[in-house]
Each structure stands twice: as structure tokens, then as C-alpha cells.
Amino acid sequence: MSMEEVLAQVSDSRTDLARLIQAAAREEWPCVVVSSQAVQAWERRAPDAWTTVQEWLLSLDKPLVIV
């Protein structure tokens, strides 16, 4: 799935997941670091969109680090 496809899938969510997707797409970033508070908010406010983003990150083989 391309970055554009993932962005389109989460476009209806009222979250900042689009910024996360755009940042994660950068090849020079070996991993994605997000706060646990952000993850909790995404799980609560947009669980389907968050699942889509997690699956996309896995497909990129880009580790997700939650701090």
C-alpha cells in the first residue's frame, strides 16, 4: 500500500495520523517514535485508522517505538 493510499484511508479521522504517515515514509528514518499518549488517543478516537497505519508500518518493515 502506498503512502497516498494510507493517507486516503485515514483522511476521515480527525487525528494527526497524516503527519505520522508522512514522517514514516521518509527513507532516512529507520523507525517511528511516538508517545504512548498519542497511541492511546488514536486507539480511542480512530481505532480503524490507527490499525491501518500500524499495518502499513509493518509492511514497510519500519519499527514503531512507543515511549
The string of pLDDT tens digits covering residues 28-62 is 889 999 999 999 999 999 999 999 999 999 999 99
Give residue 1's pLDDT: 86
Banded model confidence at residue 15, pLDDT cuts 50, 70, 90: confident
Give residue 54's pLDDT: 95
- The three cell numbers of residue 15 are 487525528
Give residue 29's pLDDT: 85
Mean pLDDT of 13-37: 91
